[in-house]
């Protein structure tokens, strides 16, 4: 039984290390469009969100990036001349007190284990939106990154990191935190930045090697 466990643990460790290394540097760049008049920033993947309603998604590498809690989508200036640009000229929104809009990063177990960086773009050229709350969720449990992020026409309004355990479901959200009662989400970039801790990788590698030795000597 112990030998079987060692061989299983070794195989599992090797698989996890392989997945983590292969995911390193992977970036998903999702530009949210109004499906009625879509325009996607060069180099980004477009997610055509319904003009009224929620639930639109785009599938990349088997991961479904899906909009949730949206009233709909809009584009300022039209696709022929989006204002201020193709990335932040369109967005999904949710208006009302304490309302949020967000994006699912697939389902449970879809994100490989490791540290991911999230860049959140928030802007609306046609409305005053002011301060925004930005956070992320693990299996529905919220972590608030900050409560006073300001909209930006060209750069991420918020950038943060979180640790995926490789088993849970994760998402990002933007919630209004101002008298205007407006939340906006234009785009999200998700990048795998590092394996959790070098010491953990060394330990897993050593255990994998020991497990393989036990397997050979059974």
Helices (H), 40-178: none
Q: What does each of the 218 residues of the chain score in pLDDT, given as a tens digit?
A: 545 444 444 444 444 444 445 566 799 999 999 999 999 999 999 999 999 999 899 999 999 999 999 999 999 999 999 999 999 999 999 999 999 999 999 999 999 999 999 999 999 999 988 899 999 999 999 999 999 999 999 999 999 999 999 999 999 999 999 888 999 999 999 999 988 765 554 444 444 444 444 444 44
In Å, the largest CA–CA distance within the chain is 70
Q: 65 and 167 share a domain?
A: yes
Residue 213 pLDDT: 45
Q: Are residues 138 and 156 in the same domain?
A: yes
3-state SS, residue 66: strand
| Same domain flag for 35 and 10 | no
Domain count, the chain: 2
Pairing of strands 182-185, 170-176: unpaired
Task: Based on the fold, state whether residues 127 and 211 are members of the same structural domain.
Answer: no
What is the rounded CA–CA span in Å between residue 170 and residue 176?
A: 20
Question: Do residues 75 and 141 both lie within one domain?
Answer: yes
Domain that holds residue 218: 1-24+197-218
Question: Residue 91: how many CB atoms within 10 A of its CB?
Answer: 32
Residues 165 and 67 in one domain: yes
Distances from the Cα of 101 to the Cα of 69, 86, 143, 149, 194, angstroms: 5, 20, 15, 15, 28
Q: Residue 94's domain is classified under what CATH number?
A: 2.60.120.430
**Same domain for 207 and 115:** no
* Cα–Cα nearest to 82, from 30, 25, 139, 124: 124
């Amino acid at each position: 039984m112990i030998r079987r466990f060692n061989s299983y643990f070794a195989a599992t460790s090797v698989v996890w290390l392989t997945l983590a290394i292969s995911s390193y540097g992977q970036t998903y760049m999702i530009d949210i469009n109004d499906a009625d008049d879509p325009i996607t920033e060069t180099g980004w993947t477009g997610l055509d969100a319904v003009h009224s309603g929620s639930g639109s998604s785009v599938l990349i590498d088997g991961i479904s990036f899906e909009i949730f809690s949206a009233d709909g989508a809009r584009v300022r200036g039209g696709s022929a001349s989006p204002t201020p640009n193709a990335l932040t000229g369109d967005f999904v929104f949710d208006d009302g007190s304490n309302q949020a809009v967000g994006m699912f990063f697939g389902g449970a177990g879809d994100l490989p284990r490791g540290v991911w960086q999230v860049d959140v773009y928030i802007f609306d050229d046609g409305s005053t939106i002011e301060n925004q709350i930005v956070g992320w969720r693990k299996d529905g449990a919220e972590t608030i990154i900050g409560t006073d992020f300001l909209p930006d026409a060209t750069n991420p309004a918020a950038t943060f990191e979180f640790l995926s355990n490789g088993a849970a479901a994760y998402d990002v959200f933007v919630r209004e935190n101002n008298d205007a009662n407006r939340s906006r989400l234009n785009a999200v970039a998700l990048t795998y930045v590092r394996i959790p801790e070098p010491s953990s990788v060394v330990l897993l590698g050593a255990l994998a090697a020991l497990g393989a030795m036990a397997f050979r000597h059974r």
